[in-house]
Amino acid sequence: MTAPEKTRLANLFDTIDDYLRDGYRSPRPEYSFTDDIIEDSAASLESVHEEKKAENSFVQIDTYSGDESGDSSLEKIADEIKRCTLCGLCEKRTQAVPGEGTLHPLVLVIGEGPGADEDRTGRPFVGKAGQLLDKMLASIGLYRGKNCFIANVVKCRPPNNRDPLPAETAACRAYLLRQITLLNPRVILSVGRIPTQILLNTADGITKLRGRFTEFMGIPFLPTFHPSALLRDENLKRPAWEDLKLLRQMLIEAVPEYAEE
Ligand code: URA
């Protein structure tokens, strides 16, 4: 059985499981039945990153850096994403959405996955939620293309904007880890429950997780609410602003260029 076939079968089992649980979906552990190469590369990337971090040196992953420059390797990942068939989401997508922004970001924003506007344009966070995200970032001097990169945990749109299934996030995981390794951001801002639960491997809700720094791959990691949640519930704007102030304070202390602007 090919890897996409295995993944589709996994999706089917997940859906059945979800129905048996009355629609409740707990985060599941990483699957071993997705493509072996992907899983191996994700695991080895995490360990290489840890080793390199210990050496305090630049992270270079030889297995996929066909080019001399890290920047063009990022393009290579984007090309792979655009052609990816590792999970069933490829069947319904118009375009995959690899992510966009500056190649040396202060902040990497990680969202859940493309919606209809993103699927149509191939760009992340371009709908209403994206416009609010841009405003939130601008309020603390952050802009995609200048000092941010915007990505998602899944790169193809889940049908009807449903939550991505564990097999889908598992299939996409290595792409995100490779992007993080190359971008090497000073901070990761995780927007919403889904990316935060997946990356921190927890079932805790976003209300509990937001507003506190932890680490992911050795990088300071701050969860906050998803901008679409703020569009639905005005009351979340204040705590989201508190999170942005925390991020700004951290950048002021850690990054002299940011403080000078
Ligand atoms: N919501 C997300 O989480 N990501 C996008 O790219 C757009 C909307």
Q: Give the position, in ligand 1's atom list, of the atom nearest the Cα of 227.
A: 1
- Among the listed residues 172, 187, 166, the one whose alpha carbon sits nearest the alpha carbon of residue 254: 187
Give the whole-angstrom CA distance, residue 249 versus residue 160: 38
Per-residue DSSP letter, 219: E
Cβ of 130 closer than 6 Å to ligand 1, yes or no, is yes
Mean pLDDT is lowest, of 6-20, 25-39, 141-155, 165-179, for 25-39
In degrees to the nearest 10, what's the CA dihedral of 8, 10, 12, 17? -160
Cβ of 46 closer than 6 Å to ligand 1, yes or no, is no
In degrees to the nearest 10, what's the CA dihedral of 239, 245, 248, 250? -80
- Model confidence at 14, in pLDDT bands (50, 70, 90)? low
Domains in the chain, CATH or no CATH each: 65-260 (3.40.470.10)
For the residues 114-126, what does the mean pLDDT come to?
98
Under 8 Å CB-to-CB from 60, ≥6 apart: which residues?
A: 70
What is the whole-number distance in angstroms between the Cα of residue 196 and the centre of ligand 1? 13
Cβ of 111 closer than 6 Å to ligand 1, yes or no, is yes
pLDDT of residue 34: 41
Model confidence at 173: pLDDT above 80: yes
Cβ of 119 closer than 6 Å to ligand 1, yes or no, is no
For the residues 124-139, what does the mean pLDDT come to?
98
What is the whole-number distance in angstroms between the Cα of residue 157 and the centre of ligand 1? 9
The residue that leads in pLDDT, 16 or 101, is: 101
Model confidence at 77: pLDDT above 60: yes
What is the whole-number distance in angstroms between the Cα of residue 256 and the centre of ligand 1? 30
pLDDT tens across 56-70, in order? 222 222 222 333 344
What is the whole-number distance in angstroms between the Cα of residue 241 and the centre of ligand 1? 19
Q: Give the position, in ligand 1's atom list, of the atom nearest the Cα of 226.
A: 3
Are 89 and 158 a contacting pair, CB within 8 Å?
yes
Can you spell out the DSSP letters for 75-123? HHHHHHHHH--SSGGGGT-SS----EE-SS-SEEEEES---HHHHHHS-
The residue that leads in pLDDT, 35 or 171, is: 171
What is the whole-number distance in angstroms between the Cα of residue 209 and the centre of ligand 1? 19
The percent of residues in the chain predicted with pLDDT above 90, rounded, is 70
For the residues 202-229, what does the mean pLDDT come to?
98
- Model confidence at 145, in pLDDT bands (50, 70, 90)? confident
pLDDT of residue 5: 58
Model confidence at 114: pLDDT above 60: yes
pLDDT of residue 69: 46
Which residue CA neighbors atom 7 of ligand 1 most closely?
125
Cβ of 132 closer than 6 Å to ligand 1, yes or no, is no
The percent of residues in the chain predicted with pLDDT above 70, rounded, is 72
Are 181 and 217 a contacting pair, CB within 8 Å?
yes
Model confidence at 8: pLDDT above 50: yes
